[in-house]
Amino acid sequence: MHWSSLLRRGKEVLNVAGPNQDMRGGGPLSRVQISTMMVKDNLLAAGGFHGELICKYVDQPGVAFCTNLAGNKKSITNAVEIYKSPNGSTRVMAANNDCVVRTFDTEKYSLLTQFPFAWSVNNMSVSPDGKLLAVLGDSSDCLIADSGSGKEIASLRGHADYSFASAWHPDGRVLATGNQDRTCRLWDVRNPSEAFAVLEGRIGAVRGLRFSPDGRFLAAAEPADFVRVYDVAAGYARAQEIDLFGEIAGVSFSPDDGAEALFVGVADRTYGSLLEFRRRHRHAYLDCYL
């Protein structure tokens, strides 16, 4: 669904509940249960619980591309990423439980790269300049690799369990990782030997991470009930805790410069919803004249 926070209404964008013949790049997919998704510049990429990858332009009818990444293995597509490569082309990357990260171009949707790893990949994210790739999964270590070759550049050690979330600060120097050990760790990629900050979760693992577009805030979501918004300028020492009810499907800031809105997806079968939180501004006396 596409939700307009201005018009306060939603419309259907993609329906794969039944057989869908209007697809290119593979056979028709049916009854796809969405496991992960991302939207950037009107391009939607969605992954499924049986290895599916679906790409569609939000403002165009039909589906641009679909395929099953893992063939008949039926392994989950855990994460998708849409990013600009260093040469300016738009690419789609997908991480799967079959231990492989794959990259596709968005011109012909041809497979460009396949990077195998020793463990299931639960999450990956590309740095803002498109050069670095963070890879996390069923390992206590997190890897930073070259996004073009897949060659490992650094191994981030410090977590005690498996990792499921990552996010790059817009300046490209800081990487946040979320783990089952109930911590979010902050790494300076110029000195990745040790995390420079460790943020504790409330009751559960850190399963969702997002920096605001201006880099002022970091949102960290647990599997259910709690989202924390950290003040980056305060060295992540200050945070607002949002207490809600239900399983959390994901978090996202609005793309405007001020990050005026924070959206939280609630996946609870009974109370499923999209929550929108607006920033509260404190205006001092006579601020209107400045």
Residue 3 has pLDDT above 70, yes or no: yes
User: Each residue of 116-170: pLDDT tens digit?
Assistant: 999 999 999 999 999 999 999 999 999 999 999 999 999 999 999 999 999 999 9
Say how far apart CA 180 and CA 129 lie, in whole Å: 28
What's this model's pTM, rounded to 2 decimal places? 0.89
Residue 25 has pLDDT above 60, yes or no: no
Residue 286 confidence (pLDDT) = 57
User: Each residue of 51-91: pLDDT tens digit?
Assistant: 999 999 998 888 899 999 987 677 899 999 999 999 999 99
CB under 8 A, 24+ apart: contacts of 180-186: 180/205, 181/205, 182/206, 183/159, 184/209, 184/218, 184/220, 185/156, 185/158, 185/159, 186/236
The token pair at 175 is 């990487």
Residue 179 confidence (pLDDT) = 95
The token pair at 268 is 């609870």
For residue 62, count other CB atoms closer than 10 A to its CB: 10
Residue 149 confidence (pLDDT) = 92
Residue 215 confidence (pLDDT) = 93
Residue 181 confidence (pLDDT) = 94
Residue 248 has pLDDT above 70, yes or no: yes
Task: Tell me what the mean pLDDT of segment 243-271 comes to.
Answer: 88
Higher model confidence: residue 54 or residue 268?
54
Residue 214 has pLDDT above 60, yes or no: yes
The token pair at 82 is 């849409």
Residue 22 confidence (pLDDT) = 54
Instruction: Identify the band that residue 23 occupies on the pLDDT scale cut at 50, 70 and 90.
Output: low
Residue 167 confidence (pLDDT) = 97
Measure the CA angle with vertex 274, ends 212 and 219; round to 5°: 25
Higher model confidence: residue 18 or residue 6?
6
Q: Largest Cα–Cα distance in the chain?
A: 66
Question: What mean pLDDT value characterizes the chain?
Answer: 89
Instruction: Identify the band that residue 221 occupies on the pLDDT scale cut at 50, 70 and 90.
Output: very high
Instruction: Identify the band that residue 289 occupies on the pLDDT scale cut at 50, 70 and 90.
Output: low
DSSP string for 234-256: TTT--EEEEEEEEEEEEEEE-SS
Higher model confidence: residue 203 or residue 82?
82
